[in-house]
Amino acid sequence: MANAVKQTVVHAGSEHGKKQERVPDPCIVVIFGASGDLTKRKLLPALYHLEQEGLLPASFAVVGVARRDISATFAADMEDGILKGGGVEADDPKLKKFMDHVKYFTTNFDDDAGFEKLKAFLANIDNMLGTKGNRLFYLAVAPEYFADITDRLGKHEMTTPVDAEQWMHVIIEKPFGTDLESARKLNDDINRVLKEDQIFRIDHYLGKETVQNILVFRFGNGIFEPIWNRNYIDHVEITAAESIGIEGRGPFYESAGALRDVLQNHVMEVLSFVAMEPPDSFESDAVRTEKLKVWRAIDPIQVEDTVRGQYGPGRVDGEKVIGYREEDRVNPESNTETFVAMKLSIENWRWAGVPIYLRAGKRLAKRVTEVTVVFKQPPLRMFNANETASQVQPNVLKMRIQPDEGISLMFGAKVPGPTTNVMPVEMHFSYAESFGKSSANGYERLLLDAMLGDGTLFAHRDGVEATWALMTPILDQWAKRPPTDFPNYEAGCWGPAAADALLKRDRRKWFKL
Ligand code: BG6
C-alpha cells in the first residue's frame, strides 16, 4: 500500500513560511451519509478549498452515498454549500469543472447488492477519470453504522488494495464509542476489516491551525519549553465554551451530553498537545506515543473533582433563550449534562502537583476556546512596603483557539508616576493581523492528510481507549447518582456555581475570558 507519509517541507523564505505540501495520488473521495449537514457545510467547501490551492490531484472525484435518492438535487446543493463556505465566486470556471466530478449514489447501508453496484460505479469512474482505484471513504453517518459499513466494504473487497501503489483509507467521524467498552468493540469491529494505518478517526479540533500551533509554539521556540513544567506553572485551564444551544440535535445530544460530545475528545486532544513531551518528529507514531503517555499518566479522576450542569432559560447576546429541557425532542425531565468541569492531575515529572482544570458547555456567556497557563507568583516581599504587592499578578499565557485566534502573555508593568504601582499588561499575537483571515475550516488539512496517509492529526485506537478509560468511571458514577438540581445554570452565564467552587476550594478562580 502506498501509505508512505508525505514530506512536508517548510520553506523558510516562502510567504509566511507556508508549507509546500505533496499532492495526493489520483483518487475518489466517497462520502457515506452525504445527505447530512456535514457534507454540505464542511466537507465539500473544504475539498474545494484544496482544489483552489492546487492540492488535489488532477484525476479526482467525489461520490456522495446515502439512503435517500437525492441524485437530482445533490450537485446543486453541494455547490450551494461551497459558495456559502466563502472565498469562491459563483462564476469561477474552476468550480464548474470541480462540480462535474461530484456524483451521487443511492444505497442502503445494509444492502449487499447496493454495495456491489457502488463498487462497479466507482470502478467506472476509475476508467473514465483515471482515479486508479484509490479511495478515501468518509463515514459521515450515525455511529451505529460505522461497523456495518466497514464490514460491507470489506466483504465486497473495496478495502483491499490490489498492489503496493493502491490505497484505501477510511475516515470515521466522532463520536467514537460512548464509553470504554463500546469504543473497544468498535475498534475490534473495524480492525477486523481494516489495518490501523487505513483508519483515520477524525477529531476536527486537530485540524485547527491554533491547535497545531500549540506544538510549534512550545517546541519551535527556545524560551517557553524550559519553564513549561511544575517548577514554574501554577495551574492550567482549558475552556471550550459555546454560546449556542444544541441546535436542533435533541436526540443526539440526549444520548451524548457535554462530556461525551466535547470533553472526552476535543478537550482531551488539546490537553495532550499542551502537556506532551517533545516528540522526536512530527510523524504519526512519534506524536501518538507522546499523547498516549500524557493520558496514561493522568490519575483516576475523582467524581468529587467533577461538576455537571444543565442550562435553564436565560439570555444569550441579549436574546431570550429556552432551557435545555424545553428544546425540541428533549425529555422535559432530562438529566443530560450540557456543561462539565473537572480537575485532574498528570502524575509525571513535568506536571505532578499542577492542577489541570477543564470545562466545556453549551449556552455559556460567549463562544471561546482557550488554553490558559497561569505561572507561579513571583516573590512579593520587595513590594511589601506599599500596597503594590496586591497588584502584582502572576504571568498568564493565553492560547486562544477561537475566535480572535492568537496568543497573549500577561505581565506586570510599572504604572508611570512617582510611586511603584504595578498593572497587568498584555503582549499579543493575532493570527488575523500576522497572516490575514483564513477561510479554512479545519477539515481541509485533515482530508488532505487522510488522502496522503498521514495519521499524525488523527486519533488512534490506543488513544481513544485511554481517554475513555479516564471518563467512563465518571459517567458510571454520574449515572448512579442522578443530579437533583438540574437545570442549575441560567443560559448566558459561565455555568453552575459548583464550577466556581471547584477552583475556590483550591483558592483559585477561573481566569476571566
Ligand atoms: C462538535 C460537537 O464535535 O464540536 C458540537 O458535536 C460542538 O456539539 C462542536 O458544537 C464545536 O466545534 P467548534 O469547531 O465550533 O468549536
pLDDT of residue 17: 37
Splitting the chain (513 residues) into consecutive groups of 10 residues, what average pLDDT does each group show? 39 39 91 94 94 94 95 94 88 91 95 96 97 97 92 96 95 94 96 96 94 96 97 98 94 95 97 97 94 98 98 96 97 98 98 98 97 93 69 93 94 90 93 82 92 95 97 98 97 98 97 95
Provide the pLDDT for residue 392.
84
Determine whether the shortest distance from the Cβ of 261 to ligand 1 is under 6 A.
yes
Q: Any bridge partners for residue 360, and if so which?
A: 240, 340
Identify which of 210, 242, 311 to mutate to test ligand 1's pocket (most ligand atoms within 8 A of the CB): 242
Please choose, from the candidates 41, 37, 45, the residue with its C-alpha nearest in 3D space to the C-alpha of residue 88.
45
Q: Given this model, what pLDDT does residue 240 score?
A: 98
Task: For residue 498, count CB atoms less than 10 angstroms from its CB and return exposed for 0-12, middle for 13-18, buried for 19 or more.
Answer: middle
d(CA 291, CA 279): 9
- The upper half-sphere exposure of residue 237, i.e. CA atoms within 13 Å in the direction of its Cβ, equals 26
CA distance 362 to 357: 17
* DSSP bridge partners of 312: 490
d(CA 306, CA 342): 4
Largest interatomic CA distance in the chain: 85
Please name which of 86, 136, 98, 175 lies closest in space to residue 441, comparing C-alpha atoms: 86
pLDDT reported for residue 85: 86
Q: How far is the CA of 213 from the centre of ligand 1 (A)?
A: 19
User: By three-state DSSP, how is residue 157 classified?
Assistant: coil
Residue found by looking up cell 483550591 in the block: 506
Task: Report the candidate in 389, 378, 376 with the shortest Cα–Cα distance to residue 420.
Answer: 389
Residue 414 C-alpha from the chain's centroid: 40
What is the 262 CA–ligand 1 centroid distance (Å)? 7
Contact 395, 376 (CB under 8 A): no
Backbone angles phi, psi at 16, to 5 degrees: 50, 30
Closest residue by CA, ligand 1 atom 8:
261
What is the reported pLDDT for 11?
35
pLDDT of residue 65: 97
Does 269 contact ligand 1 (Cβ within 6 A)? no
Could you give the residue numbers annotated as active site? Answer: 266
Residue type, 270: V
Alpha carbon distance 88, 52 (integer Å): 9
Residue 180 contacts residue 472 (beta carbons within 8 Å): yes
| Predicted local distance difference test score (pLDDT) of residue 3 | 41
Q: Which residue, judged by its Cα, is nearest atom 7 of ligand 1?
A: 262
- For residue 402, the ligand 1 atom closest to its alpha carbon is 16
